[in-house]
Amino acid sequence: MSSAHSDRSTPAHRRIRDEPLSVLYTPVQFAGFWTAVLLPFVTAPMLATGLASEHMVAFVALVAANLVALVLGRDYNAD
């Protein structure tokens, strides 16, 4: 089997680890995963206490940060 064929069959997020930037890949995944885990502990009380409506910009920013963290950390420790 040629290496070109195996490159196409390997998902992009796995190929990134073979590139020089792979040193940053795992720490970014780690931070994204744990941020996605911990941010709901901030946003849920904001919703429960009504602070979300008083500080709408901060709440929306936290939800957006949580979505970004979910994407960045989605494959953390999947190996």
Q: What is the pLDDT of residues 48-60, one digit of tens each?
A: 999 999 999 999 9
pLDDT reported for residue 8 = 58
**Residue of 11, 47, 13, 17 whose CA lies nearest to 66:** 47
* Residue 29 near residue 78, CB atoms below 8 Å: no
pLDDT reported for residue 75 = 83
* Residue 73 near residue 30, CB atoms below 8 Å: yes
Q: What are phi and psi of 76, to 5 degrees?
A: -60, 130
Per-residue pLDDT of the chain (79 residues; tens, 9 = 90+): 445 455 556 665 555 556 666 777 788 899 999 999 999 999 999 999 999 999 999 999 999 999 999 999 988 886 6
Say what the pTM is. 0.67
**How many Å separate Cα 58 from the centre of its chain?**
19
